[in-house]
């Protein structure tokens, strides 16, 4: 399970950073793989409201939103937004990131595409502010509510702290360690309660991610579906995203995964091997299934349709049996 933390404070070693790193460390202790991104270090152009994403589903700015942020959003199971309060909202760099996720909002609400992970991805807020007013976090909660909704992520909760101003204030807070342990355990429990299925294919650029997306959709969040490749490609197959978009599913900004990464992050109940491949010995406790589905190197649209039909039928059978 991948957890990505986006740290919005310009101060790399301040109170917000301490809170995020402790939270991510606790999730790691519970079995998650984590990544932290310092948002002010990224190159993110402000949204200019041109409307291209609403018409075409992508932004014309080729910066770190396209290469880093959007792939991380789509490939993470938990997203943690960590931010201090600047004039009752997030700092400018974090706000630019939020505004530029208009691309995902547009793909969902303008183009009608469904993110297959929308029923399973969780979002969490960590925030600190210097004053004591009761309404200190009202604005940021509203921002996060609609931000997470726009990126097809469930706003699962928050930890917010008043009167945090001087260096080291967060570290000295009397309840922070217990707060983090409690919410981290609750957050992880929702994932650990669901069975995980892993789809293995040669390069995880076509059949594997197709099966994963269909599993998430047909299963309606009943399982955590993952995919990985024996020799993962750099990008998904160029036919996959437009083909699945015709089925109403949005697979853009996803990256093929490796078996090595899957071994570190997943304890699958089922491992489903697609094609004429041998299952690695790394999953001795998993139920191993083999699906004899042709995966041509240069598939036609008819090949894609046949592959999708076979995968749908096998998944429907599997769900009836479980």
Tens of pLDDT, residue by residue over 201-223, are 999 999 999 999 999 999 887 89
Tens digits of per-residue pLDDT, 285-297?
A: 899 999 999 888 8
pLDDT of residue 306: 94
In order of their start, the domains of the chain are 2-192 (3.40.50.360), 196-321 (3.40.50.2300)
User: Is the pLDDT reported for residue 7 higher than 80?
Assistant: yes
What DSSP state is assigned to residue 56? H
State the pLDDT at residue 252: 94
Q: What is the chain's mean pLDDT, rounded?
A: 94
Q: What is the mean pLDDT of residues 249-263?
A: 91
Instruction: Output the pLDDT for position 320.
Output: 87
Helical axes 207-219 vs 301-321, angle rounded to 10°: 40
Tens of pLDDT, residue by residue over 72-130, are 999 999 999 999 999 999 999 999 999 999 999 999 999 999 999 998 899 999 999 99
- Would you state the structure tokens that stand for residue 62, as one six-digit string? 């080729």
Task: Give yes or no for residue 284 having a pLDDT over 90.
Answer: no
Q: What is the pLDDT of residue 266?
A: 83
pLDDT, mean of residues 262-273 = 88
Strand order in 78-84's β-sheet?
Answer: 33-38, 2-7, 78-84, 122-128, 154-161
* pLDDT value at residue 307: 95
| Mean of pLDDT values over 259-272 | 88
pLDDT tens, 21-77? 999 999 999 988 899 999 999 999 999 999 999 999 999 999 999 999 999 999 999
Burial label, 119 (beta-carbon count in 10 A; 0-12, 13-18, 19+): middle
Residues 154-164, mean pLDDT to the nearest whole number: 97
Residue 265 has pLDDT above 90, yes or no: no
Given a cut of 80, whether residue 278 has pLDDT beyond it is no
Measured between alpha carbons, how far is 207 from 76 in angstroms, rounded to an integer?
20
Neighbour tally for 29: CB within 10 Å: 12
Cβ-in-10-Å burial (0-12, 13-18, 19+) of 247 comes to: middle
Residue 261 banded pLDDT, cuts 50, 70, 90: confident
Q: What percent of the chain has pLDDT over 70?
A: 100
Between CA 281 and CA 289, with CA 286 as vertex, the angle to 5 degrees is: 90
| pLDDT tops 80 at residue 199 | yes
Flag whether pLDDT at 190 surpasses 90. no
In this prediction, residue 127 carries a pLDDT of 98
Cβ atoms 93, 7 nearer than 8 A:
no
Between 282 and 301, name the one with better pLDDT. Answer: 301
Cα angle, residue 314 at apex, residues 263 and 210 outer, rounded to 5°? 55
> Residue 321's pLDDT is what?
84
**Is pLDDT at 6 greater than 90 in this prediction?**
yes
Contacts of 49 (CB under 8 A, 6+ apart): none
């Amino acid at each position: 399970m991948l957890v990505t933390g986006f740290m919005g404070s310009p101060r790399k070693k301040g109170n917000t950073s301490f809170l995020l790193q402790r939270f991510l460390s606790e999730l790691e202790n519970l079995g998650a793989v984590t990544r932290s991104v310092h948002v002010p270090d990224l190159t993110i152009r402000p949204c200019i409201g041109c409307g291209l994403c609403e018409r075409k589903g992508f932004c014309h700015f080729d910066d770190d939103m396209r290469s880093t942020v959007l792939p991380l959003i789509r490939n993470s199971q938990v997203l943690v937004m960590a931010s201090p309060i600047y004039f009752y909202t997030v700092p400018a760099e974090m706000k630019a990131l939020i505004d530029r996720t208009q691309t995902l909002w547009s793909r969902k609400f303008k183009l009608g595409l469904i993110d297959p992970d929308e029923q399973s991805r969780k979002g969490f807020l960590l925030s600190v502010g210097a004053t004591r007013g009761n309404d200190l976090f009202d604005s940021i909660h509203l921002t996060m509510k609609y931000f997470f909704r726009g990126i097809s992520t469930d706003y699962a909760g928050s930890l917010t702290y008043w009167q945090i101003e001087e260096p080291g204030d967060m570290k000295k807070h009397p309840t922070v360690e217990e707060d983090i342990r409690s919410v981290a355990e609750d957050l992880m429990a929702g994932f650990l309660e669901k069975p995980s299925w892993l789809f293995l294919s040669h390069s995880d650029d076509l059949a594997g991610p197709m099966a994963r997306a269909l599993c998430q959709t047909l299963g309606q969040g009943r399982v955590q579906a993952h995919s990985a490749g024996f020799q993962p490609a750099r990008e998904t197959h160029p036919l996959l995203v437009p083909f699945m978009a015709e089925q109403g599913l949005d697979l853009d900004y996803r990256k093929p995964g490796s078996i090595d990464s899957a071994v570190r992050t997943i304890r699958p109940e089922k491992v489903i091997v697609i094609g004429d491949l041998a299952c690695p010995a790394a999953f001795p406790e998993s139920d191993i299934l083999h699906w004899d589905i042709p995966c041509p190197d240069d598939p036609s649209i008819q090949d894609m349709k046949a592959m999708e039909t076979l995968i749908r039928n096998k998944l429907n059978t599997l769900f009836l049996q479980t």
